[in-house]
Amino acid sequence: MSFKPSMIEYNQTLTSAAAKLGKHSSTYLAANYNCKNATIDVKVDLKSLVSLSIFYIFLLWHWQLSASLSFSGKFSPSTRTIASLKLVVSVNKVVIMSMYLLFSLLQLKISYFHEHVTLATSILLNQSPAIMLSASIGTPKIALSVEAKYKTESCSASYNASISLANPKSNASIILANQGDLLKASYVYRFNQPKEISVGAEIHRRFSKKESTFTVGGSCSVDHLTTLKMKLNNYGKLETLLSHKIRPKSCLSISGEVDLKALDRIPRIGLAVALML
């Protein structure tokens, strides 16, 4: 009778670093362990600051320790689970004046990813825990998402919800935010011939103030380097933006804003240059 041990492929990595700049010092330690479809990460970071003031005759000592443990596993081709636990401890101490402050934060995050479903939750484990939950379900053509947050200290809850529709030529979305007080709805349609032209409309409704804002706009590709955008709302505010690519990663932009209901005011004109080597 013979036994053959099972061969399990795994990789492990350990990295560390330390740096000191003046009164600041930092130490970093990280470990990574891979086994089949699972990954475990451990990170520890320590930062400290020591400051001495002769005028006030006191010594300020501050250090912060953060440690995190995360797990990531892919148990099937279409699912993935991620869990992480983070601890942050911060200490401020003033010698001679006898002041001492300790602050700690413990946070737990759990995420689940499927081909058409995503779930995520985050919990702050302190004296007044806060629970955050988000979920989304959908396909490339339609998606529905919900976010909720509950504070145990004030026993208050907030939530956001949205639905979006997409196809190759148009996009539409409806967002309900601020506990149902703010409603946003938008629609964009794209024309690909003869040039890339997009037109859209957006409406904001704040129920508590009974205010509504309606905006229409569009964009047009003048050529492969220049794009013109424009939008107008129901308050008579007209905004335009002309962007021109100088280089593949550099852009020159000219913007303008005018109030059609107050033409006696001087229009606003802006110029911006973004350069990237």
252 vs 275, more confident: 252
Pairing label, strands 211-221, 142-151: unpaired
Q: Are 105 and 124 in contact (CB under 8 A)?
A: yes
Question: 67: closest CA among 39, 88, 40?
Answer: 88
Does 196 or 13 have the greater pLDDT score?
196
Query: Under a CB-based contact definition with an 8 Å cutoff, are residues 82 and 75 in contact?
Result: no
Q: What is the predicted pLDDT for the residue at 227?
A: 94
pTM for this prediction: 0.66
Q: What is the pLDDT of residues 32-68, one digit of tens each?
A: 877 777 788 888 777 765 554 444 444 455 566 677 7
Sorted by sequence, the CB contacts under 8 Å of residue 126 that are 6+ apart come out as 104, 105, 106
Query: In the predicted model, what is the mean pLDDT of residues 155-166?
Result: 90
Percent of the chain exceeding pLDDT 90 equals: 35
β-strands 237-247, 226-233 pairing: antiparallel
| CB 271 within 8 Å of CB 254 | yes
| Segments making up each domain of the chain, as ranges | 8-115, 129-209, 222-277
Are residues 178 and 185 in contact, defined by beta-carbon separation less than 8 angstroms?
no
CB 201 within 8 A of CB 187: yes
Q: Which residues contact 59 (CB under 8 A, 6 or more apart)?
A: 50, 51, 52, 53, 94, 95, 96
